[in-house]
Amino acid sequence: MGVLTGKKALVTGGSRGIGRAIVERLVADGAEVVFGYRAAGDAAAEVVEACGGRAHAVRADLADTGQTRRLYGEAERVLGGLDILVNNAAIGVVKALGEWTDEEYDHVMTVNAKSVFVAMSLAARRLRDNGRIISVSTFNTIVPVPGVSVYAASKAAVERFSAVAARELGPRGITVNTVSPGAVDTEMLHSANSPEGLRRTVDFTALGRLGVPADIADVVAFLAGPDSRWITGQNLLVSGGLLL
């Protein structure tokens, strides 16, 4: 049996990239998982098939906080309760500070920060004791790369939500942590960076390569499991030694 046998998990943004790797790793460790997706129905179906019926896809657009609440409730209904919440869904937008519109700012902040706040507030009331809350942040909260002002700010909010929630939920044995990936080989990374920029990033990474989604999923799985029971309120930088 896996270390997560009997555990029930919700993963937001689980149809592609890091999210898919997280879903598949949690299932491999024994958990049953509900994951959300916005539009990639074919990709979501592939994840369900790959997980052999241990993962269930629910369509939800987290730009609408009502759908965030519906996703959480549907996960509880399908699984009979939740032990693990993984906040992964996010929008990555690179744009100079002076080019943002109010509408674009509100959209990114709603998906990346407010939806996480809503999910965590539900978990604070309804997650089972000794549960786990893990949110995916970014190394850009530490490294002020031009163009990532709103994205980094949204993720910084998630880090602060998590730090406070760790103190509030500790008496129930619930741990709350964030994981901050470095440069991970995903569609989002390639859409926001030039090939030359990615080559320079590899040059400044101690392990000499871009990350892959499994590199992040493995750390999330550790934080979801029993061996992380004494770790809470932390932000784990998972970057392959990217120089800061």
- By annotation, the residues acting in catalysis are 151
Contacts of 103 (CB under 8 A, 6+ apart): none
Answer yes or no: are the C-beta atoms of 194 and 152 closer than 8 Å: no
Closest Cα partner for 14 from 5, 3, 1, 23? 23
What are the tokens at 16?
Answer: 């592609």
State how beta strands 175-181 and 32-37 pair.
unpaired
What's the N-to-C CA distance of the chain in angstroms? 40
Answer yes or no: are the C-beta atoms of 147 and 173 closer than 8 Å: no
Answer yes or no: are the C-beta atoms of 74 and 10 closer than 8 Å: no
Closest Cα partner for 38 from 13, 11, 16? 13
What are the tokens at 15?
Answer: 């149809």
Answer yes or no: are the C-beta atoms of 27 and 51 closer than 8 Å: yes
